[in-house]
Structure 1
Amino acid sequence: MTDTPPVHGFAPTVVGVALSDCTPQDAATVLRVLCTAFPSDRTSTERPDDDATVWLTTVDAASLPEPSEAKPLSEAVTADIQGGHEVLDHVCAALATAFTLTESTAASGDQEQEMHMRLTTRH
């Protein structure tokens, strides 16, 4: 993570990501894209637990990511992301280089935004 001063224990560039409604293999594909694009609390080779129903990661999205590709998803993945407005845009940009994003809901606060979306394979 970067040396950005923390706010309430977290750097203002930190984004929380929760993946659900998918297979462990699809979660691993999405996590690999995020861990390649940003410093993360996971590694790009880390394999998610097979018996989990939700997979979590925290990324430091201080800068825009390089475009990346991902192997096809077997089904849609639900992603819930939360963080500051600008850094949330960075995470969405990283995901959009590898997947098609369908935003279903968003809630904005003064300092943070929360988004619920579906990720599918790009065609």
Structure 2
Amino acid sequence: MKVTVTVTDCPAQDARTVLEVLAKGFPSSDRGPGDLPQDTPGAGPTVWTSVFDVPDDAHTDGAAGPSSLSGSVTVTLQGAPEGVELARNALAAGFSLVDEGDASGDQEREVRLRLAGRDG
């Protein structure tokens, strides 16, 4: 199952941290290990996006320990309902998480989350 992850409202280092937590449990289908979010010049907001392959039998228990962020981060997960839930659980293992919205369609689910660091 493919899950598209969008990270906004944060500096590049926080986007890296979020994507690295997901990469511990799921392979990215569009980024290699060295392809990390970078700061971009300009006045507009920056959005980082990656697509992860979430297997049906994925287990996220303990995939990530507590992680630090410089502030709160907005993350949107979109894809098959089961894959979105597994990705959400992986993020919940590493961050303090607040659900900010959820939309479900016929074969797809979109979840908007607000993450904060949860230091060990």
Q: Shorter-chain TM-score: which interval?
A: 0.7 to 0.9
SS at match of 1:27: helix
For structure 1, the 5+ residue unaligned runs are: 1-12
Which residue does 1:117 correspond to in 2?
113
- How far apart are residue 36 of structure 1 and its match? 1.6
Moved over 4 A (4+): none
Instruction: List alignment gaps of at least 5 residues for structure 2.
Output: none
Residue 101 (structure 1) aligns with? 97
TM-score w.r.t. the length of structure 1 is 0.83
Q: State the identity %.
A: 41
Q: Is residue 67–residue 118 contact of structure 2 (8 Å, CA) maintained in 1? A: no
Take 2:86 and 2:113, find their aligned partners in 1: how far apart are those partners?
15
Question: TM-score, normalization: structure 2?
Answer: 0.84
Counterpart of 1:33 (choices 18, 21, 29) is 21
Deviates more, 1:111-120 or 1:66-75: 66-75
In 1, the alpha carbon distance for the partners of 2:78 and 2:36 equals 23
Question: Shift of the alpha carbon at 1:45?
Answer: 4.5
What is the aligned-residue RMSD (CA, Å)? 1.6
2:50 match: secondary structure? strand
- What does residue 19 of structure 1 align with? 7
